[in-house]
Amino acid sequence: MADPTSVAGAAASQGAGGLPQFDVAQWPGQMVWVLITFAVLYVLFAKVFVPGVGGAIDAREDKIAGDIGEARRLRDAAVAQADAANGEMTAARARAQKLAADAQGEAKAAAAARQAGEDAKLTQTLAAAETRIAAARAAAMAHVRAIAIEAAQAMITRLTGTSAGAGEVERALGNAGRTARQGAQV
């Protein structure tokens, strides 16, 4: 460890004690160097650093403004495309509804035509059936007299034990039929 008296002695041997900034004899040289340093730094800032930073800031502002303009242009284009797509969707929806209505109308017309055809077939079938029924009724009615005569003969035979002739039974039925018609007219 160094002796404190020796440190103080060394400082005294180098010159007057204290900091050189406070030594008035050294101020003119320090002022020259301060001015030179200030001038160099001023020139560097004025000619190199500030224009470079200012140019970067201006370029950045121009880029941001361009990007904002591009974004607005793209947004407007997207809105226009969305409006066009909505218009196309509306038109497509209207066409689809018209097609559906037309198809429904055609289906109804086809169904009505088929129904009319089926009704006509049914009417023909009913007319033919009524004709057959009328023919069967007429045939049955033609046989009713013969059946009635046979039934009357069988009853007479069963009740009296004697057989009656077809002519006698027919006359008796003819008289009964006239009497029934006269009674119905009264």
Query: Where exactly are the structural domains of the chain?
Result: 27-185
Rounded CA Rg of the chain? 67
Question: Do residues 153 and 164 lie in contact, with contact meaning Cβ atoms separated by under 8 Å?
Answer: yes
The per-residue pLDDT for range 54-73, each reduced to its tens digit, is: 888 889 999 999 999 999 99
Decide if pLDDT at 3 tops 90.
no
What digits encode the pLDDT tens for the residues 169-184? 788 777 776 776 676 6
Residue 138, helix vs strand vs coil: helix
pTM: 0.38
* Confidence band, pLDDT 50/70/90 cuts, at residue 17: low
Q: Report which residue type is found at 63.
A: K
At which residue do the structure tokens 């947004």 appear? 75
Q: Which two tokens mark 102?
A: 């037309």
106 burial class (0-12, 13-18, 19+ CB within 10 angstroms)?
exposed
Neighbours of 75 (CB within 10 A): 10
**pLDDT given at position 73:** 94
